[in-house]
């Protein structure tokens, strides 16, 4: 029978992670049970004391990075706290921003405890079977790593920051008959990297090749904006040409809200973000068709060419499907 008729979704709460006073990384192994679907992180952050020089990324900066790794080698999720809340969360499921209630996009201030929750999509969405991870075997070890930011990076002035993370694993029961199992030959990855923009002008971000891209999302350096952008393949083939106004319209059409919502937090303006999104082009968000996905293994060159207003660190997320064993 189909997998959906032979299983059911379950959830289990994992041990709480409490940030060390000076920041640092804590981890928890996912239990060897079922087929992993997603992780929810219930995050509470309390900031007290003196806050000066607040981090430009707002309260999202309390989490330095979240990583989910298989067998201590293959990352399926590796994203910073700011990158998650300013980029990733707007591209989950129906693109409706299920985490709009959090204060992650608010400026750093004396608050708390306040929610900075995160949804970690191990699978491509809540329905389709791309990216499921079989945990119920001795060959797979899946580990969640949470790196808490040092208080001095969140804000100067010596604030006290108390952050806790309660991980919740959503998993499917394993059908008794292996013929009813889903396929496990692909992994859904969201990986973030930082690149230094040396100064104002055109900056070329060269995509790594080999996997199938679902999207690539860019966050401009703090206080920097972009004016023109092209998605270019094979040096001269322009796949997509954008200006801030056209990206603003695209965001409004596919997300049912516009980029001006960013003006409510420390990152302001409709041209702070740039998203090459290949799943949501049919209006169905992460439930969309495969029509516009990009198989980068068939290309010798693909890049984002962005006109950026000044120097700083460009955050980029690559969302892709990786075929295992190839």
pLDDT at 265: 66
Q: Residue 27: how many CB atoms within 10 A of its CB?
A: 12
- Residue-wise pLDDT tens for the chain (326 aa)? 899 999 999 999 999 999 999 999 999 999 999 999 999 999 999 999 999 999 999 999 999 999 999 997 899 999 999 999 999 999 999 998 999 999 999 999 998 899 999 999 999 999 999 999 999 998 899 999 999 999 999 999 999 999 999 999 999 999 999 999 999 999 999 999 999 999 999 999 999 999 999 999 999 998 899 999 999 999 989 999 999 999 988 888 888 877 665 656 677 666 889 999 999 888 899 998 889 999 999 999 999 999 999 999 999 999 999 998 75
pLDDT for 268 = 66
**Domains of the chain, earliest start first:** 3-184 (2.70.9.30), 194-319 (2.60.120.730)
For residue range 141-161, what is the model confidence (pLDDT) as tens digits?
999 999 999 999 999 999 999
**Torsions phi, psi for 128 (to 5 deg):** -75, 155
pLDDT for 324 equals: 85
pLDDT at 208: 96
What pLDDT, on the 0 to 100 scale, is given for residue 141? 94
What are the structure tokens assigned to 75, written together?
């990352």
Q: Would strands 226-233 and 302-308 be described as parallel, antiparallel, or unpaired?
A: antiparallel
Q: What residues are paired with 156 via a beta bridge?
A: 52
Residue with tokens 């006109």: 307
Instruction: Please report the pLDDT score of residue 289 as a whole number.
Output: 86
pTM score: 0.94
The pLDDT of residue 22 is 94
pLDDT at 251: 86
Q: Nearest CA to 202 among 314, 296, 278, 299?
A: 314
**Residue 116: closest CA among 81, 90, 92:** 81
Question: How many C-beta atoms lie closer than 10 Å to residue 289's C-beta?
Answer: 12
Mean pLDDT rounded to a whole number for the chain? 93
- The strand pair at 24-29 and 142-148 is best described as antiparallel
Looking at residue 232, its pLDDT comes to 97
């Amino acid at each position: 029978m189909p997998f959906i008729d032979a299983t059911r979704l379950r959830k289990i709460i994992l041990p709480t992670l409490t940030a060390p006073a000076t920041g640092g990384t804590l981890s928890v192994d996912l239990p060897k049970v079922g087929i992993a679907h997603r992780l929810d992180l219930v995050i509470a952050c309390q900031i007290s004391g003196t806050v000066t020089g607040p981090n430009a990324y707002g309260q999202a900066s309390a989490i330095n990075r979240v990583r989910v790794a298989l067998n201590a080698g293959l990352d399926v999720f590796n994203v910073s706290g700011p990158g998650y809340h300013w980029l990733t969360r707007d591209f989950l499921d129906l693109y409706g921003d299920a985490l709009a209630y959090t204060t992650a996009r608010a400026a750093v201030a004396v608050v708390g405890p306040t929610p900075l929750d995160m949804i970690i999509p191990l699978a491509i969405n809540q329905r389709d079977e791309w990216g499921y991870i079989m945990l119920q075997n001795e060959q797979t070890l899946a580990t969640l790593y949470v790196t808490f930011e040092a208080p001095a990076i969140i804000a100067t002035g010596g604030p006290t920051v108390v952050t806790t993370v309660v991980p919740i694993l959503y998993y499917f029961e394993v059908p008794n008959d292996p013929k009813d199992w889903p396929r496990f030959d692909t992994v859904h990855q969201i990986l973030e990297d930082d690149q230094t923009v040396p100064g104002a002008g055109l900056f070329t971000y060269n995509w790594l090749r080999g996997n199938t891209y679902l999207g690539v999302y860019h966050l401009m350096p703090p206080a920097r904006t972009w004016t023109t952008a092209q998605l270019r393949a094979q040096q001269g083939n322009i796949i997509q040409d954008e200006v801030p106004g056209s990206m603003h319209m695209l965001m409004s059409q596919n997300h049912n809200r516009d980029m001006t919502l960013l003006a409510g937090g420390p990152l302001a303006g409709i041209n702070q973000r740039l998203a090459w999104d290949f799943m949501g082009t049919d209006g169905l968000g992460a439930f969309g068709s495969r029509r516009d996905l990009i198989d980068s293994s068939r290309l010798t060159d693909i890049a984002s060419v962005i006109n950026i207003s000044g120097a700083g660190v460009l955050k980029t997320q690559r969302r892709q499907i990786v075929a295992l064993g190839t």
